[in-house]
Chain A
Amino acid sequence: GRRPSMPIVEKDARSGIPESFSHVPMAKRIPMSQAHKDVHPAVLAVGQQMATFALKDSISRLKATLLAFRKVIESYETPKGNSLSRHFVPHVLNPQIEYLTECRPMCFAMGNAIRLLKGKVNKFDIDTAEDEAKEGLLEWIDLLINERITLAEFSIARNAAQSIKEGDTILTYGRHRLVEKTLLEAKRNGKSFDVTIIDDPYERSGQELAKALRQAGIHVLYSPNLGGLRPKVAEASNVFLGGEAIFANGSLHAASGTADVAMAAMNAGVKVIVLCETINFDRDRVSVDALTYNEIDPERNTADCFRLLFDVTHDKYITGVITEFESGGGNSPAQAI
């Protein structure tokens, strides 16, 4: 009884999308009752949060996914006559992944982590005891979260904060977790500098950043949209941008508007520094324009009102990328994975 209604819901949601953007995927709310029966409750919750954008940026999505998978592994019991390394991925993990992808197209960090997780499972010997394998997977997930997320965030913020000089004006676009950490870290180190925030009026996340920076005592110039971008960028000493992913060709996948800011900065001769964890790097995919990999804003998906969530910044508009391993030009960190 619940299946037949699915295609109708799907058709309605996508029917208004203009023809020329109809190839672009879009997040979709799936009623709990329509989810596949094999989906674990923890994953179900994460999927809902992703579909509603309560979990939004790639790292929080990755972290929530990994923690949910941890629950899946904990509650997993290998059926008689099977082994974990043969049974877990196709029969347990894949339905979870399918459900999450249906809720919202997977981000590149999730893709990377899932690939690593599957590789880990496959490496177990067929005779490995179930408890041992489960213990190994849980430890591995904890390690991944600690190293690639928590430690990465810490060391990127530390490295980037060191590059801020006394009296600098740092320009940023919207609100990105790493940029926010970096600026607060630099302030804690006793540096005095100004921040210019260019915001997206459809998100307004920059206002939250402005509030946090003001509370730390940083002088903030807030611009609600991209109007007057050129003169504002020209007055900055550095532009710090955060991203969702970096493709194999070095281009940055980030909130729509990032490319416009980076380009204006590069044209004005201002350095553009991208902060990104290596788990977000995609070494398989290449994107030269924003219509290859993107997402439609599910709130605005008709000809009346249309919006893409991301754009692609060509690596020629990026001076450097700061990752937890090294800092370098647009391309070199891609080899670090």
Chain B
Amino acid sequence: MAPSQASYAPSLDNLIKSFNSQPLEASIESLIFLLKRRQVKGDECARATAHILRQVVAKSKWHDVDQLLSRVQSAGSRLVRAAPLEPVIGNIVRRVLGLIRDEASEDRNNADDVTSEAASDIQTLGPSAPPPLPRPVPVPIRPGPSAISAGMQVSKSMFNLLSVADPGDSPATGASTPLSQAQPASVHALRSEVMDGIEEILDEINQADDQIAGFSDIQIHPGDYVLAYQPTRSVERFLVKAASKRRFTVIIACLDSPNSGAAEPPYATLRKKLNTAGVNTINLVSNGLMAYIPRVNKVIFGAKAVYQNGGLLVDSGCCIAAQAAHEHLKPVIVLCPVYKFCPEDPSDEVSRGELGTPSSYVSYANGPGVDALEVENTVTDYIPPELVDVYLTNLGPQTRHHLASILADHYKTEDIGFSLQLGEP
């Protein structure tokens, strides 16, 4: 991320620490505030969201699974609305929702089957808890993957949309009614299990970069000229890891404003690390990239999000790199941890690009120069799937034909449109 932005905002770690000490609502509000001001952005959004949802699970009042789901949904959709161009927020919310559903169904199954080890877990976790009673009629909480049950799900959400003012207090409806009879003990157990699950998601987020870097020696060959466009933290780690095993050349390109007046050239630390490992670097300060592509073997950049169709949300300029590489048949490798895969299609807003401040390019002190001039500084690009060759995830390299299975493994169909199910606040 742009280093100049960091100075005003509290660091993410401080923000997350503050979550523990202040009331839940205040934490959510402060995160929303920072999201709206773009002071928490990109990869940080994922961590911040996971942490805040952990707080929601830990601190908010809920007595059964449905209430927990709607607490998470409502907090999640507030965050999503605060930063509509940060799809990872929605992804993490969906992951947590899916986690809750899984834990709940496991719980219920365990409750049915008293001999299971989870029962003893529940007892150790909740010391005063009575042994859970087996429920007479187990009803599946999660509808099967068939089209009919998906249809039912839609009608359920429409019902919520029309009839429920505050979903948090709404009585449970339809298919999930039996869960509202869950016992306090299982609530307690569920809480700790869900929180453990969120910890796992956080671990996944934190480890993703290293896992992706583990694939670097497969992708980068000795003697390569690698064009790294606006290297993100993931890309930096990837390149440094590759540099420990290979001799190659990194061409770094970026779209930074030349007037930023930074004391040192961009990516100085990355370049120092690469140079000490014996990897040459060239820092391009160029708008167009077509001129350099004949020299380049592959293009690497990080994605902000990957959509269902395989399209990418990226920092602006990456599209130029991908397009130029594609035209010269050079592979385009995108680093994207699984938590950035988004089970939605890109909106028009996304393909149009987010607008940033024009003031670093055009001075408003220059009256005649900017008189009635419309200035658009686009800061995000959408890259259509046909320009991407390899999606390098923490689970290994993927092609766009297999993205659907990753999405199916990580999200539940009923959570995909979670932010729409609540309607406007």
Give A contacts to B, CB under 8 Å.
18-21, 199-202, 204, 207, 210-211, 214-215, 219-232, 256-261, 263-264, 267, 289-291, 294, 300, 303-308, 310-313
Contact = CB atoms under 8 A, between A and B. Distances in A.
B362 A224 contact: yes
A256 B374 contact: no
Interface in B247-286: 249, 255, 257-258, 265, 280-286
A230 B285 CA distance: 21
A264 B371 CA distance: 29
Name the residue among A18, A223, A224 with the largest chain B CB count within 10 angstroms. A224
A260 B323 contact: yes
A306 B316 contact: no
Given A227-B255, A260-B289, A306 B361 contact: no
Name the residue among B281, B352, B380 with the largest chain A CB count within 10 angstroms. B352
A310 B287 CA distance: 11
Contacts of A311: 288, 290-291
Given A207-B369, A258-B288, A305-B285, A263 B381 contact: no
Contacts of B265: 304-305
9 cross-chain pairs, A with B, having the tightest CB-CB distances, nearest first: A228-B378, A227-B316, A257-B288, A224-B361, A259-B290, A290-B291, A311-B291, A289-B294, A228-B353
B284 A306 contact: yes
A227 B379 contact: yes
B320 A231 contact: no
A308 B97 CA distance: 51
Contacts of B316: 225, 227-228
B117 interface: no
A230 B319 contact: yes
Given A222-B373, A224-B362, A260-B323, A306 B287 contact: no
B322 to A, nearest CB: 10
Interface string B289-320: 11110110000000000000000000011011
Contact of A225 (B249, B281, B317, B324): B317
A308 B369 contact: no
The binding surface of chain B is classed by DSSP as mixed
Given A228-B376, A230-B319, A257 B287 contact: yes
B317 A227 contact: yes
B376 A256 contact: no
Nearest to A291: B294
Given A207-B369, A221-B376, A260-B290, A226 B317 contact: yes
Interface residues of B, number: 48
B281 A230 contact: no
B371 A229 contact: no
Contacts of A220: 373-374
Contact of A20 (B249, B323, B368, B374): B249
Contacts of B377: 223-225, 227
Given A202-B258, A290-B290, A260 B324 contact: yes
B362 A20 contact: no
B255 A303 contact: no
Given A260-B288, A260-B324, A263-B324, A221 B317 contact: no
A320 to B, nearest CB: 20
B384 to A, nearest CB: 8
Contact of A223 (B284, B352, B369, B376): B376
A317 to B, nearest CB: 9
B285 A263 contact: no
Contact of A264 (B287, B323, B351, B373): B323
Interface string B331-373: 0000000000000000000011100001001100000110111
A310 B284 CA distance: 14
Contacts of B317: 225-227
A300 B258 CA distance: 12
A237 B286 CA distance: 27
B164 interface: no
Contacts of B409: none
A228 B285 contact: no
A230 B291 contact: no
B424 interface: no
A30 to B, nearest CB: 25
Contacts of A21: 282, 295
B280 to A, nearest CB: 7
B423 to A, nearest CB: 30
B404 interface: no
Contacts of A313: 290
A214 to B, nearest CB: 6
Contacts of B353: 227-228, 231
A211 B316 CA distance: 25
A108 B376 CA distance: 35
A123 B265 CA distance: 56
Nearest to A200: B287
Contacts of B295: 20-21, 291
A304 B376 contact: no
B417 to A, nearest CB: 26
Contacts of B283: 303-306
Contacts of B373: 210, 214, 220, 222
A201 B317 CA distance: 12
Nearest to B328: A289
Given A211-B368, A290-B290, A291-B294, A306 B374 contact: no
Contacts of B379: 227
Contacts of B257: 201, 224
B165 interface: no
Given A222-B376, A231-B351, A306-B284, 17 more contacts: A18-B280, A21-B282, A221-B376, A222-B374, A223-B377, A225-B255, A226-B255, A227-B255, A227-B377, A228-B316, A228-B353, A228-B378, A259-B324, A261-B288, A290-B294, A310-B291, A313-B290
